[in-house]
Amino acid sequence: MVGDNILYGEYVVVKALENGVTIIGLTRGKDTKFHHSEKLDKGEVMVAQFTEHTSAIKIRGKAQVITKYGSIQSGP
C-alpha cells in the first residue's frame, strides 16, 4: 500500500488475432456489472490492469491473452 492507494499490479496483455475483438471490464462488489469496453482490430494490443474497480475481464473474439502465469488463446 502506498498512501491511501492499493497497488494491485496484476496485468493482462490482450493481442487481437482478428478484427473486432471486444474486451469488457467487470466490476467488483455485490453485483458484477459491465463498466468499460474496448474494441481491438487485428494486431492491436491492450494492456489491462486489475484495480479496485475491475475484478474480471471478458474477451469476445479471437485473441491471445498473456499473463504472468502463461498465455492462452480465446475464440474459435
Q: For the chain, which residues make up each domain, given as ranges? A: 11-68
- CB 63, CB 40: distance < 8 Å: yes
CA 14 – CA 26 distance, rounded (Å): 16
What is the CATH number assigned to the segment(s) 11-68? 2.60.40.50
CA 34 – CA 39 distance, rounded (Å): 14
Q: Look at residues 72, 15, 13 and name the one whose alpha carbon lies nearest to residue 41.
A: 15
Give the mean model confidence (pLDDT) for residues 54-70: 91
pLDDT tops 70 at residue 3: no
Tens of pLDDT, residues 14-54: 999 999 999 998 887 777 777 889 999 999 999 988 877 77
Residue 2, pLDDT score: 45
Task: Record the cell numbers describing residue 16, joined without a space.
Answer: 487481437
